[in-house]
Amino acid sequence: MLNKQHIINRFLSYVKIDTESDPKSNTTPSTKKQWDLANKLVEELKAIGMSNVSIDENAYIMATLPSNVEHEVPTIGFISHIDTSPDFTGANVNPQIVENYSGEDIILNTEKNIILSPSYFEDLLLYKGETLITTDGTTLLGADDKAGVCEIVSAMEYLIQHPEIKHGTIKVAFTPDEEIGRGAHKFDVDKFGADWAYTMDGSQVGELEYENFNAAEAEVTFKGRIVHPGYAKGKMINSMYYASEYINTLPKLEVPEHTEGYQGFFHLHDIHGNVEKTVLEYIIRDHDKDKFKARKALMQKVANDMNTKYNQDIISIEVKDQYYNMKEKVTPVMHVVDIAEEAMKQLGITPLIKPIRGGTDGSQLSYMGLPCPNIFAGGHNFHGRYEYVPVESMLKATKVICKIVELTQERYN
């Protein structure tokens, strides 16, 4: 049996270390403090008996659990990230433990009247009777993704202590800077040497994800002409009005607030401008590759049409791809998903397979040659003060890891 208190203690030891990443930094890791947890993990992996524990100059940690069978089994990996989101502070995390959760409001902070309530966060009711770890209302918790780190370390420890569970070679990796989109950037896929892997970075129990958005960003620039407003007739060109026309020409309902599931969107997330120059910053998202291309083409077409209409080059547009749907790389090796699904079913966990409306490190890794679906790590309400994780969910994720390695071995026996 996995020891619940042992997992709680391990998780608490991680979240108390501040590892917030910083998008403005150009170094890797983006913040020096990520080394504090990275160095601790290296020691811990050695202490539990992992082999080839390494950390590189960018704080990417890798370790191996050698095979304990004679026959050939594919090498599989488990990955999570050590940083926390810069959206909310991760300094001085003071976790609260709620045992035998009653289903009622949880007072996170009496002084500041901060309450975690199932009337806003209905998911809480899934965990009645369980042990929840919450914040004290002033920081995020860091279950994203220290729950994942904790589950991977705990699963490896369990497998080492239980050699009767047969498995092939297992690799684990912990990366910095996932929250600022760089977790996969300096990941050495060849050194890792796995045939496929899973990120332990999802939310609710049962989540299993292998489809994500195709993603691009677009910057649309409008040129105007400033003239004294009193003498502007026929001379002034106000770039802000052109920007407004552009915004209103794109499909109005294809925006984040009107879409869900497999529906893609255009998201205008920033405008800055004056008469002379206005810049619109968009992100473009779609699961479907052709629709994704069509969206990028439409943004270009609206710009071209307006340039034609006004008979001058007032609009320029720059579109950059960010990441792609991993589905294309995972469906040819669908057993990777099937094994994880079967592992959950055997443990009595209902798999929740759904498209991610975002990206994961796994989507980049999949395009770098390492197919890499995402599995639940158990936390909820990531990146803010209402973040919490049920300990039972961490135990389940740990068991899923152990079951996946077992099933993979059996499949190739």
Q: Which of 20, 22, 44, 144 binds Zn ion (CB under 5 A)?
A: 144
Region from 108-116, 153-161, 194-202, 257-265 binding Zn ion, contact rule CB under 5 A = 194-202
Q: How far is the CB of 181 from Zn ion (least distance, A)?
A: 11
Question: Per the annotation, does 179 bind a ligand?
Answer: yes
Q: Are 330 and 371 in contact (CB under 8 A)?
A: yes
Shortest distance, position 64 Cβ to Zn ion, whole Å: 24
User: Nearest approach, Cβ of 178 to Zn ion (angstroms)?
Assistant: 6
Question: Per-residue x/- marks for Zn ion, 95-134, CB under 5 A?
Answer: ----------------------------------------
Which residue, judged by CB position, is nearest to Zn ion in the bound state? 145
Closest to Zn ion by CB, 8 vs 82, is 82
Closest approach of Zn ion to the CB of residue 83, in Å: 9
| C-beta of 38 vs 302, nearer to Zn ion | 38
CA distances from 389 to 11, 15, 284, 286, 397 (A): 10, 12, 31, 30, 12
Chain centroid offset of residue 55 CA: 22
Q: Is 201 annotated as a binding residue?
A: yes
Number of residues that bind Zn ion (CB under 5 A): 3
Residue 145 or 151 with smaller CB distance to Zn ion: 145
Q: Please list the active-site residues.
A: 83, 178
Q: Which is nearer to Zn ion, 22 or 254 (CB)?
A: 22
Q: How far is 368 from 362, CA to CA, in rounded Å?
A: 9
The least distance separating Zn ion from the CB of residue 78, rounded to whole angstroms, comes to 14
158-195 burial by CB neighbour count: b if 16+ within 10 A, else e? Answer: bbeeeeeebbbbbbbbbbbbbbbbbbbbbbebeebebb
What is the spatial distance between Cα 363 and Cα 183, in angstroms, rounded to a whole number?
11
Nearer to Zn ion, 145 or 211 (CB): 145
State which of residues 145, 177, 254, 387 lies at the interface with Zn ion (CB under 5 A): 145
- Region of residue 181 (left: phi > 0; alpha: psi -120 to 50; beta: else): left
Answer yes or no: is 144 a known binding residue. yes
> Of 94-102, 200-208, 390-398, 403-411, which part binds Zn ion (CB under 5 A)?
200-208
Strands 207-209 and 352-353: parallel
Long-range contacts formed by 281-284: CB under 8 A, 24+ apart: 281/217, 281/218, 281/219, 282/217, 282/218, 282/219, 282/220, 283/215, 283/216, 283/217, 283/218, 283/322, 284/215, 284/216, 284/217, 284/218, 284/319
Binding-site positions for Zn(2+) read: 81, 144, 179, 201, 383
The residue ranges that bind Zn ion (CB under 5 A) are: 144-145, 201
